[in-house]
Chain A
Amino acid sequence: MIDKTVASCKEAVADVFDGATLMFGGFGDPGVPGRLIEALREQGASRLCVIHNGAGGDDFALGGLILDGRVRKLIASFPNSPRAWAFRDRYLKGEIELELIPQGTLVERIRAAGAGLGGFFTPTAFGTELAVGKETRIIDGREYVLEAPLHADFAFIKAHRGDRLGNLSYRGAMRNFNPVMATAGKVVIAEVDQLVPVGALSPEEIHTPGIFVDLLVEVERDPRLFELEPPKRRSAK
């Protein structure tokens, strides 16, 4: 019998190693695998490269990992949200590297990796600062930039419901990067609000088929993801 469930987030993230590249799903708070990332903070792996749309926020999840000095490099499109003060402090001190990518290019690079593609040509960023040094080509009279696939050792994703086979279903705006990242990590770990029996999810409501998922943990959401007002700013140590 296939059973991808594990009992705890601690167990789910146990194999993350120093220097690993990780993808974290989520855009703003929806779809952030907050419990898995907090478990990784406890686990201790360091010199991490993280791929995420933003730079997290406050002393929590990715913001917390950065605050703890555990992230060597961030690959993101929007790392400058006001709540990402931990990133800002470390970046200005030269303690963290940033690869800035337009959002559509970021998700498509992840998609390319998951789909087994060697890259793609996009018009986005042609002739701008973000395309400097990149190969270009004119196709049917339009200018394009060559972009490479973006792989990861681990992808942490968040879904609303899942079953032991790894089938996942999302709610509202939780999908964002999650279904795409689920295709692009060597090890894909899903945090779900509810573990349901096989068959409880109808085939139509499975957004991420279980084939992409390696480990799955059911856990109540971190209450910090429900906050309507962000907590007051604190400075990095």
Chain B
Amino acid sequence: MTLTRDGIAYRVALDLPEGSYVNLGIGIPILVTAYLPPDKEIFIHSENGLLGVGPMSLPGTEDPDFLNASKQFVTLVPGASLFDHALSFTMIRGGHITHSVIGAIEVAANGDLANWRVSGEKVPGVGGAMDLAFGVRNLYVAMNHVTNKGEPKILNHCTCPLTAPRCVRRIYTDMALIEVTPEGLLLREVARGLTAEAVQACTEAPLRVADDCREMTVPDEFKGVRLTA
């Protein structure tokens, strides 16, 4: 059994602490919004100048002036604030945003991140990825464990141009939760029914298995959305 994209987002959301200020990237990361624990106050940051992003706007209530950086119509929570890009990146680069959840093309065993340009890609674009990777202390990657072709994305060394070196703290995938440590990658959790060997078989970089490595606690379904597959 593996996690769906929503399942990965659900698992990430469990780890965001009370009082955190979190930037969510495009793709799987932005799905985290739907799974934030209701008993914790967590502020979602969007780099286009929003702090305190709430749920997506309901159909018919979209306001063209309220978009997040993923270009979705959003609401704001009580206590939210609005500001310009310079202040927004002051929050990011200055280390004020406590957590960044970001997608990746490749992650290396030492925490190197490559997520802005596939080798040979015709039109490059970087957006805010580098500022997040250099500026945010708790950088969590949320991605599928392997490529569409089944090739590993967690490698000994990145082959694509780097976003930032040695920046990733944790990797959340459809198969596992892996922590980046000074001694290399540490397998902390596996999806239900998977073995550490099965995860290693889909991972180029060597994994050490944590003494307390366990199965992920992600339900099969949440509010009608499938979290496992």
Question: Is B truly associated with A?
Answer: yes
Interface residues of chain A, those whose CB is within 8 Å of chain B, are 27-30, 76-81, 87-88, 91-92, 98, 100-105, 107-108, 111, 122-130, 160, 170-180, 207, 225-226, 228
Query: Cβ of B48: which chain A residues have Cβ within 8 Å of it?
Result: 27-28, 30, 173, 176
Decide yes or no whether B221 CB sits under 8 A from chain A: no
Whether the Cβ atoms of A124 and B135 lie closer than 8 Å is: yes
Contact of A173 among B66, B86, B93, B123 (CB under 8 A): B66
Residue of A nearest to B66 (CB): A172
| B157 → chain A closest CB, angstroms | 14
Residue of B nearest to A110 (CB): B86
Residue of A nearest to B132 (CB): A104
Which residues in window 63-112 of B have CB below 8 A to A? 63-69, 71, 73, 82-86, 88-89, 92-93
23 contacts between A and B (CB under 8 A): A30-B48, A91-B123, A92-B122, A102-B128, A102-B129, A102-B130, A102-B131, A103-B128, A104-B93, A105-B131, A107-B85, A111-B86, A128-B162, A128-B164, A130-B130, A160-B65, A172-B63, A173-B48, A173-B49, A173-B65, A173-B66, A177-B85, A207-B84
Query: Cβ of A111: which chain B residues have Cβ within 8 Å of it?
Result: 86
Contact of A79 among B63, B83, B123, B165 (CB under 8 A): B123
Whether the Cβ atoms of A77 and B128 lie closer than 8 Å is: yes
Whether the Cβ atoms of A123 and B161 lie closer than 8 Å is: no
Contact of A123 among B47, B64, B67, B93 (CB under 8 A): B93
| B68 → chain A closest CB, angstroms | 8
Residue of B nearest to A102 (CB): B130
| A231 → chain B closest CB, angstroms | 15
Question: Interface size on B (CB < 8 Å)?
Answer: 42
Which of B50, B71, B86 has the most chain A CB atoms closer than 10 A to its own CB? B86
- Interface SS, B side: loop
Whether the Cβ atoms of A124 and B131 lie closer than 8 Å is: yes
Whether the Cβ atoms of A30 and B64 lie closer than 8 Å is: yes
Which residues in window 26-77 of B have CB below 8 A to A? 46-50, 62-69, 71, 73
| B82 → chain A closest CB, angstroms | 6
Q: A53–B124 Cα gap in the complex (Å)?
A: 13
| A174 → chain B closest CB, angstroms | 5
Contact of A77 among B73, B82, B127, B165 (CB under 8 A): B127
Whether the Cβ atoms of A104 and B67 lie closer than 8 Å is: no
Decide yes or no whether B182 CB sits under 8 A from chain A: no
Whether the Cβ atoms of B65 and A180 lie closer than 8 Å is: no
Query: Cβ of B82: which chain A residues have Cβ within 8 Å of it?
Result: 170, 172-173, 175
Which of B50, B88, B125, B162 has the most chain A CB atoms closer than 10 A to its own CB? B125
Whether the Cβ atoms of A128 and B130 lie closer than 8 Å is: yes
Q: A122–B135 Cα gap in the complex (Å)?
A: 10
Decide yes or no whether B144 CB sits under 8 A from chain A: no
| A13 → chain B closest CB, angstroms | 23
Whether the Cβ atoms of A225 and B49 lie closer than 8 Å is: no
Whether the Cβ atoms of B65 and A172 lie closer than 8 Å is: yes
Whether the Cβ atoms of A175 and B128 lie closer than 8 Å is: no
15 A-B pairs besides A27-B69, A28-B67, A160-B65 with CB distance below 8 A are: A28-B69, A79-B125, A80-B125, A92-B123, A100-B126, A104-B130, A104-B135, A108-B89, A125-B134, A127-B162, A130-B126, A173-B49, A176-B84, A177-B85, A228-B62
